[in-house]
Amino acid sequence: MTRRGLAFAAMCLAVAILLAAGLDHALAQAATPFGVGRPDATVSGPMGGFGAWVMAEQSRFYRQLSSAIRAAKENGTAAWGLIGLSLAYGVFHAAGPGHGKAVISGYLFASGATLRKGVLLAFASAFVQALTAIGLVAVLALILGATASQMDDFALVLERASYGLIALVGLLLVARKGAAFWVVLGPSLGLATVPAHVHGPDCGHIPLPEPGGAGGRGAVAAVLAIGIRPCTGAIIVLVFALAQGIFIAGVAATFAMALGTAVTVAAIACVAVLAKGLAVRLAAPGGTGAALALRGLEFAAALAILGFGLALFFGAALPVGQA
């Protein structure tokens, strides 16, 4: 039973890894048809009715945003409608493609954080993402009067920084989880290991950063990695609101979108935390085999984040049309 449970957990992780690996073509350094406005990165996966429904819904909400912004200009109470709409858009948008969810759930699975931390990460990254979009439009469009393609260029830089950070977070996790995995794997292969030296966190000899540490630098890096990549929808909404002379409505809408996004991502984060809890429980009574499987899963999740970050980073580095 325990073995089977672990096998299933391994399977679901394998699914996640495959999805991350399937990124390459959809990767969305997608060229931009009109040369301005960047498509959001899309994670390609099995397409089901659920994904299609999510897309149809977010598209519907997105279309209504412009009239909601204009209505908010006419009268203040309409602003509530705009906020509700943005919230709904955020919920559905986050259920669609996105690097945030993949990184957060992989991170939480590998590092094994609490539910509270999972939710906190989801909200923090969504909030940072809103701030990035608002900051970008406020500085570039409002103050500097930049053009759309200049904003795109800057967004692209942020995007690449975000992907690089994701790879870095993955690398830290791989180092840490790889060490933990080796501690179990080494002896079982009949290889002598020196646990005291490999146990990164417990050992002064290998001062590995601690991505899994409660509130550690790893968590901050993960939040930044996700948050510094602004979303295209938010930028367009902000510029539109600015053009209508009610930038503040765009700011409100962006925060509402972030809140909606956070709700969805938090739900997914909870699943990751629970999955980890389950895997730990299943492994608890077992011997070396169970420990091996658990450490192996953690290591695989860490590798998935690293792979995801690298694929995105190098995907974004390719010239338009080559991805």
Partner 1 sequence: MRRLLLALSCLIAAASTAAAHPHVFVTSKSDIVYAAPGLVSGVRQTWTFDDMFSSFAIQGLDTNKDGIYSREELQPLAETNVESLKEFDYFTFVKIGGKPILLKPPTDYWLEYKDNLLTLHFFLPLATPQHQGEKPLAVEIYDGTYFVAFTFDETKPAVVEGAEGCVVDVHKPKELDPALAAMAAQLGTDDPGTLASNPSFGASLANTILVNCP
Assess 77 for contact with partner 1 (CB under 8 A).
Answer: no
Binding residues for partner 1 restricted to 4-33, rule: CB under 8 A: 4-5, 8-9, 11-12, 15-16, 19, 25-26, 28, 30-33
Which is nearer to partner 1, 135 or 215 (by Cβ)? Answer: 135
Which is nearer to partner 1, 70 or 199 (by Cβ)? Answer: 70
Binding residues for partner 1 restricted to 30-49, rule: CB under 8 A: 30-37, 39-40, 42-49
Q: Min. distance of Cβ 155 from partner 1 in angstroms?
A: 12
Query: Please, which residues have CB within 8 angstroms of residue 241's CB and are 6 or more apart in sequence?
Result: 69, 247, 248, 249, 250, 251, 253
Binding residues for partner 1 restricted to 266-295, rule: CB under 8 A: 268, 271, 274-275, 278
Assess 318 for contact with partner 1 (CB under 8 A).
Answer: no
Residue 285 · residue 119 · CB < 8 Å: no
Assess 317 for contact with partner 1 (CB under 8 A).
Answer: no
Label each residue of the chain as H, E or C.
CHHHHHHHHHHHHHHHHHHHHCHHHHCCCCCCCCCCCCCCCCCCCCCCHHHHHHHHHHHHHHHHHHHHHHHHHHCCCHHHHHHHHHHHHHHHHHHCCCHHHHHHHHHHHHHCCCHHHHHHHHHHHHHHHHHHHHHHHHHHHHHCCCCHHHHHHHHHHHHHHHHHHHHHHHHHHHHHHHHHHHHHHHHHCCCCCCHHHHCHHHCCCCCCCCCCCCCCHHHHHHHHHHHCCCCHHHHHHHHHHHHCCCHHHHHHHHHHHHHHHHHHHHHHHHHHHHHHHHHHHHHCCCCHHHHHHHHHHHHHHHHHHHHHHHHHHHHHHCCCCCC
Which is nearer to partner 1, 106 or 209 (by Cβ)? Answer: 106
Residue of 91, 121, 198, 239 interacting with partner 1 (CB under 8 A) = 239
Assess 194 for contact with partner 1 (CB under 8 A).
Answer: no
Assess 320 for contact with partner 1 (CB under 8 A).
Answer: yes
Total residues at the site for partner 1 (CB under 8 A)?
77
Distance CA 300, CA 55 (A): 30
Which is nearer to partner 1, 49 or 285 (by Cβ)? Answer: 49
Q: Min. distance of Cβ 198 from partner 1 in angstroms?
A: 30
Span interacting with partner 1, options 60-68, 192-200, 209-217, 310-318, rule CB under 8 A: 60-68
Assess 73 for contact with partner 1 (CB under 8 A).
Answer: no
Distance CA 323, CA 314 (A): 9
Interface map 131-170 toward partner 1 (x if CB under 8 A) = ----------x---xxxxxxx-------------------
Assess 56 for contact with partner 1 (CB under 8 A).
Answer: yes
Instruction: Report CA-CA distances (Å) from 275 to 212, 236, 271, 294.
Output: 16, 37, 6, 11
Q: Min. distance of Cβ 311 from partner 1 in angstroms?
A: 14
Binding residues for partner 1 restricted to 80-139, rule: CB under 8 A: 93, 95-97, 101-102, 105
Q: Min. distance of Cβ 31 from partner 1 in angstroms?
A: 5
Token pair for residue 323?
Answer: 């991805």
Assess 248 for contact with partner 1 (CB under 8 A).
Answer: no
Which is nearer to partner 1, 10 or 161 (by Cβ)? Answer: 10
Assess 261 for contact with partner 1 (CB under 8 A).
Answer: no
Assess 207 for contact with partner 1 (CB under 8 A).
Answer: no
